[in-house]
Amino acid sequence: MAFLFLALAIVAEVVATSALKASEGFTRLWPSVTVVIGYGLAFYLLALVLRTMPVGIAYAFWAGLGIVLVTLVGILVYGEKPDLPALLGLGMIVGGVVVIQVFSSVASH
């Protein structure tokens, strides 16, 4: 269940972060409400994950996958265009998460 909760936490964080841009400095009501609810749900789910998963591993997944997904939202929704170094960096982040999941015995505890 930890990985399911972590996946849901990451999605909630990505939605909240995306809504943060849309809130235009908390001047738009519904995007602002989405930010508060999204981050609240994300941190609640992360707290559940930390009952069984080491904080460093959970945060590596949270941060790494969150960065990649927010970048994808930026590309698809906001028309942002990352350059080659940004894409290479994102690839390294994904690679790091894969290495942790595949090769680390800590990730399964």
Q: Where are the domains of the chain?
A: 1-103
pTM of the model: 0.86
Q: Which region holds residue 25: left if phi is over 0, alpha if psi is between -120 and 50, else beta?
A: left
Residue 108 has what pLDDT? 55
pLDDT at 106 > cutoff 80:
no
Residues 16-32 have a mean pLDDT of 97
First to last CA, the chain: 12
Residues 9-30 have a mean pLDDT of 97
Where is 105: in which H helix or E strand? Answer: none
Residue 78 has what pLDDT? 95
Residue 104 has what pLDDT? 81
Task: Find, among 107, 5, 20, the residue nearest to 60 by Cα.
Answer: 107
